[in-house]
Structure 1
């Protein structure tokens, strides 16, 4: 995650005027018309916009993330965690009777395991197709079979890249969950249920007439 405070060179408690002054100073040197780098100037603008937006700034200060400045892997990791948060919210079990953070970590580790297995299977298929191609004599004229096999290898390579991205995002999500400690109920902390009252045994109230 790129830090907007570092980009602008201001303190984390900088006020609006300080942020504007820092932006004007850096924008002169960073602007492409002055020989600056286009990407660097774009990051400078995004950092400036973030820190002037009180809502986005508060979210960044609280979480360390902002959609405009977060890299693709972090965004995918945040999406994965958001899905797990939804599952946590919908879980009907009483808070304290299970560890939702541990459950999220376990789900991410299972996704990583499945993705690694899928990647190894894809690589195995690609290698097998490659061996077929090595043994396949090129047909004079149009090489339909060879073309289709090479296209299949290319498609598998794309799938492998997507699987690697998924692994990276899940691993990053696990990193984001590091450091959280969830307090579980101790055995016996559950509230004692109220005893059932048999109405026949309940104290009888004398009427005013008695």
Structure 2
């Protein structure tokens, strides 16, 4: 998540005038027409707009989150966590009798392991296809079998890339849980033992 206060270089208690002054000072150098970077200027403008809107600023100050400033990887991680949150909200066990944060971490770890096994399986299939390609005789005119097998190999390579990206997203979700803990009631803990 991008911190609009850091982007503008203002304190968290800065008033509207201080925010406007900081924005103008930085915008002069960051504007693309004066040789600045387009992405930097966009982040600067989004930060200014967020801090000028009292409702968005209050939400950001309370949660540390604003969808317009979120990194794509954070948004993907949030989507993964959203499904896990639904799991523990729908869990019939009494709150305080189990640790939903630890359960979320376990589920994320299990997902990573499953995707890694899937990647290994895909790599095994791709190796078999390549082995067949090395052994198959080619037709002099058109090599339609080789062509079809190479296409399969390429689609498996794409599937491997997507699975690796999925692992990165799950790892991002896992990192987003860092710092969270959950208080379990002692009575519930004793009853479970």
| Superposed pair shares fold, TM > 0.5 | yes
Instruction: Tell me, in whole angstroms, the C-alpha distance in 1 between the residues paired with 2:51 and 2:84.
Output: 29
Shift of 1:52: 2.2
State yes or no: 1:127 paired with 2:127.
yes
Relative to structure 1, the CA distance from residue 85 to residue 189 in structure 2 (aligned partners, 3 Å threshold; closer, same or farther) is closer
Structure 1 match to 2:160:
160
Deviations 1:35-58 (A, max 9, x none): 111222122222222222333333
Runs of 4+ in 1 over 6 A off after TM superposition: none
8 Å Cα contact 2:9/2:22 also seen in 1: yes
TM-score normalised to the size of structure 1? Answer: 0.81
SS of structure 1 residue aligned to 2:69: coil
Instruction: Tell me, in whole angstroms, the C-alpha distance in 2 between the residues paired with 1:55 and 1:126.
Output: 53
Structure 2 match to 1:14:
14
Shift of 1:71: 2.3
Deviations 1:50-88 (A, max 9, x none): 222333333433443332222222211111111111122
Instruction: Tell me, in whole angstroms, the C-alpha distance in 1 between the residues paired with 2:136 and 2:48.
Output: 59
8 Å Cα contact 1:105/1:174 also seen in 2: yes
Instruction: Tell me, in whole angstroms, the C-alpha distance in 2 between the residues paired with 1:134 and 1:62.
Output: 61
Structure 1 match to 2:150:
150
8 Å Cα contact 2:97/2:189 also seen in 1: no
Structure 1: runs of 5 or more not aligned: 191-210
Structure 1 match to 2:54:
54
Shift of 1:188: 7.0
Shift of 1:107: 1.0
Decide which moves more: 12-21 or 131-140: 131-140
Instruction: Tell me, in whole angstroms, the C-alpha distance in 2 between the residues paired with 1:141 and 1:188.
Output: 74
SS of structure 1 residue aligned to 2:68: coil
Relative to structure 1, the CA distance from residue 55 to residue 158 in structure 2 (aligned partners, 3 Å threshold; closer, same or farther) is farther
State yes or no: 1:32 paired with 2:55.
no
SS of structure 1 residue aligned to 2:27: helix
Relative to structure 1, the CA distance from residue 141 to residue 100 in structure 2 (aligned partners, 3 Å threshold; closer, same or farther) is same
Instruction: Tell me, in whole angstroms, the C-alpha distance in 2 between the residues paired with 1:54 and 1:165.
Output: 37
Shift of 1:26: 1.4
Relative to structure 1, the CA distance from residue 189 to residue 103 in structure 2 (aligned partners, 3 Å threshold; closer, same or farther) is closer
> Could you say which structure has the higher helix fraction?
2
Structure 2 match to 1:204:
none
Q: CA RMSD in A?
A: 2.1
